[in-house]
Structure 1
Amino acid sequence: MKKFSLALCASAIMIPAYSQAQGMSSHDFGPHTGDREFSLSGTGTSNKDFDNSSFGVSADLGWYLSDRTVAGVRQSIQYADITGEDLTDDFWNGSTRGYIDYHFGTQAARPFVGASLGAIYGDGVKDTGTAGLEAGLKYYVLSSTYILARAEYQFLFDSGSSASDNFDDGAWAYVFGIGFNY
């Protein structure tokens, strides 16, 4: 595990050096008004015995309204395999959300903030509406290719009045992935 962590850190350090070696300057990175983006992200957890595990995949398709603002649709799918004293079951959940994000800066590293609104559904949840706030970072390793880290605070609601009541009972969702502008 130590060797894997060391290799991951070394790779992350080499990305900016590789970009500079390719002769890219800050104005060569990122999207422009009218461009689209596609990203694919994943997340997962397991206990030490791998008998309680979950993983998820999220795909985003967005359109740049300006050089800094993207709006789009996000589809996420999660799977959980839970084993306990009186329980052995598999759960599939999904969510479909619209999102809008605002990006800061013009360099290779582009932090962003945003919001999403949609619905969740599946085996392990009650079918309901969801809303959330998000923040993250896109790091351009090539002129139109980036790695992505995002954290979302999501809360569930059945109606407008329950949305404000449920904000304090939200949950965090984290993803790491890769994306492309075209």
Structure 2
Amino acid sequence: MTISANASLTVAVGTSLLLASSAMAQEMTTIGPRTGDREFSLSGTGSSDKDFDNSSFGLSVDYGWYLSTQTLVGIRQSVNYADVEGDNDDFWNGSTRGFADYHFGQHAARPFVGASLGGIYGDGVNDTGIAGLETGLKYYMLPTTFIQARAEYQFLFDSGNSAEENYDDGAWAYTFGMGINF
């Protein structure tokens, strides 16, 4: 009976250790953010004609907070540069906007949808309000590090009335970048 009690105790301890180590391993390999995490991302965009006479590029920096594992709110700063053939001036502009995104799923690939609201300013644009809808995909290469692609439909407005009028005259903005949750 002593051997049987020792064997039962050994099996029970072994099973407990196996379950505990499995739970710890799963916690260590959780992919993506947790509620309360911060996020920082850096993205870029660019285009040129075939002769590189007309070119533009831009950078976008995002900083946000996860209200839940799916909901991210934050601020986004974008800076854009354009070199147009035949024009002696280079064009710089920027935009600052708040955003909110909702992420789907708990796996490495996480599609998201969201909206942004803020202002645009600089050369070649009227300083005005900007609003937009966005969609994209984050892919976690490591538990807290991801690459992302995002498309935004943006429209400019000076007032509530012009927002309705300008919605049909919006523009698409595309970015590709990487980020980290911490």
Tell me the TM-score normalized by structure 2: 0.84
**Mind listing any 5+ residue stretches in structure 2 that lack a counterpart?**
1-24
Between Structure 1 and Structure 2, whose CA radius of gyration is higher?
2
d(CA) in 2 for partners of 1:24, 1:59: 31
For residue 52 of structure 2, what is the amino acid of its counterpart?
F
- 1:89: Cα distance to partner? 2.4
| Partner-residue secondary structure (3-state), 1:28 | coil
Q: How does 1:12-23 map to 2 (within 5 A)?
A: none
Aligned to 2:93: 93
- Which runs of 5 or more residues in structure 1 are unaligned? 1-22
SS class of match (2:132): strand
* 1:53 matches 2:55: yes
Q: Which residue of 1 aligns with 2:82?
A: 80
Q: Contact 1:83/1:89 (CA < 8 Å) preserved in 2?
A: no
In 1: Cα distance, 2:156 partner to 2:52 partner: 29
1:24/1:143 contact within 8 Å kept: no
Report the AA paired with residue 58 of structure 1: S
| Number of the residue aligned with 1:131 | 131
Among 36, 39, 62, the residue aligned to 1:37: 39
Does the 8 Å CA contact 1:56/1:79 hold for their aligned counterparts? Answer: yes
Please report how far the alpha carbon of residue 51 of structure 1 lies from its aligned counterpart in structure 2 after TM superposition.
Answer: 1.6
Aligned CA RMSD, in angstroms, stands at 1.7
Confirm whether residue 149 of structure 1 aligns to residue 149 of structure 2.
Answer: yes
Q: 1:52-96 CA distances to partner (integer Å, 9 max, x unpaired)?
A: 110000000000000100000000000000013xx3320000000
Q: Distance in 2 between matches of 1:53 and 1:34?
A: 40
Q: How far apart are the structure 2 equivalents of 1:124 and 1:71?
A: 29
- The separation in 2 between residues aligned to 1:181 and 1:34, in whole angstroms, is 10
1:124 Cα deviation (Å)? 1.3
* CA displacement at 1:24 relative to structure 2: 8.1
User: What is the aligned counterpart of 1:63 among 58, 62, 65?
Assistant: 65
**2:163 aligns to what?**
163
Name the SS for the 2:89 alignment partner: strand
> What CA distance in whole angstroms lies between the structure 2 residues aligned with 1:49 and 1:166?
33
Q: What count of residue pairs does the alignment treat as equivalent? A: 158
Secondary structure (helix, strand or coil) at the match of 1:88 reads coil
Aligned sequence identity (%): 72
**1:122 and 2:122 matched:** yes
CA distance in 2, matches of 1:178, 1:145: 8
- Aligned residue for 1:61, secondary structure, equals strand
CA contact (8 A) 1:75 1:95 kept: yes
List, as ranges, runs of 4+ consecutive aligned residues in structure 1 with deviation greater than 3 Å.
Answer: none
